[in-house]
Amino acid sequence: DVKVTQSSRYLVKRTGEKVFLECVQDMDHENMFWYRQDPGLGLRLIYFSYDVKMKEKGDIPEGYSVSREKKERFSLILESASTNQTSMYLCASSSESSGNTIYFGEGSWLTVV
């Protein structure tokens, strides 16, 4: 089974703090993604990566950055957290060899106060 692990499930951070969300997958998938999900807005893509050290902006990259130094790990960084970044963040991975199906982690609930 594919395992996508998000290390932090619930976080509360203060406005202006730098926040790191970590994600690790164990299936040697080349593609990794960060989405956020908000009521009424659905799932929106923040960034994705198709290879180590490669990254592409998604639909809502503003206020976020990412890092992929190793194939299995994809980090989302909020440089200066703001209250409108309160959300559920979902990491995911996929591979052509597995039919490009995207597999999600359990999600990280971030509250910025």
Interacting residue ranges for another protein, rule: CB under 8 A: 31, 33, 35, 40-43, 45, 48, 50, 56, 58-59, 90, 99-107
Query: Cβ 51 to another protein, closest distance in Å?
Result: 11
Q: How far apart, in whole angstroms, are the C-alpha atoms of residue 39 and residue 57?
A: 22
Query: Cβ 79 to another protein, closest distance in Å?
Result: 22
Q: How far apart, in whole angstroms, are the C-alpha atoms of residue 106 and residue 90?
A: 7
Q: Which residue has the tokens 């980090």?
A: 75
Torsion angle, alpha carbons of 32, 34, 37, 42, to 10 = -60
Identify which of 49, 83, 87, 41 has the alpha carbon closest to the alpha carbon of residue 65.
Answer: 49
Identify which of 91, 90, 88, 78 has the alpha carbon closest to the alpha carbon of residue 26.
Answer: 91
Name which of 46 and 81 has its Cβ closer to another protein.
Answer: 46
Q: What is the DSSP letter of 50?
A: S
Query: Cβ 42 to another protein, closest distance in Å?
Result: 4
Name which of 11 and 43 has its Cβ closer to another protein.
Answer: 43
Query: Cβ 22 to another protein, closest distance in Å?
Result: 16
Name which of 5 and 17 has its Cβ closer to another protein.
Answer: 5
Name which of 17 and 30 has its Cβ closer to another protein.
Answer: 30
